[in-house]
Amino acid sequence: VDTTHVTLKENGVQLRLTIVDTPGFGDAVDNSNCWSPVTDFIDSKYEEFLNAESRVNRNTTEDTRVHSCLYFIAPTGHGSVA
């Protein structure tokens, strides 16, 4: 799992994004449990945020949770079955 931080600025609004990439995801011949590193990463980010929010003395907490997932499927014309 690779992460990259990007800051976008437009019309005086600043948005900080963290892009999470999973190179090689699903490329193996046997993809049994290939999602485990991804779900472990997402679960750990939610756990970190919950722990920060549950503290008695909370400081400003950076939200590192995953809010959206994009899947890019190769246009091979076969392999995707409804």
pLDDT tens digits for the chain (82 residues)?
888 889 999 999 999 888 888 888 878 788 888 888 889 999 999 999 999 888 888 777 788 888 888 887 777 766 656 5
Domain residues for 48? 34-82
pLDDT value, residue 46: 92
* CA pair distance 37, 43, nearest whole angstrom: 10
pTM (whole model) above 0.85: no
Q: Which residue has the tokens 């980010």?
A: 45
For the chain, the domain total comes to 1
* CA pair distance 64, 76, nearest whole angstrom: 34
* CA pair distance 22, 63, nearest whole angstrom: 20
For residue 46, tell me if it sits in a domain.
yes
For residue 39, tell me if it sits in a domain.
yes
* CA pair distance 48, 70, nearest whole angstrom: 22
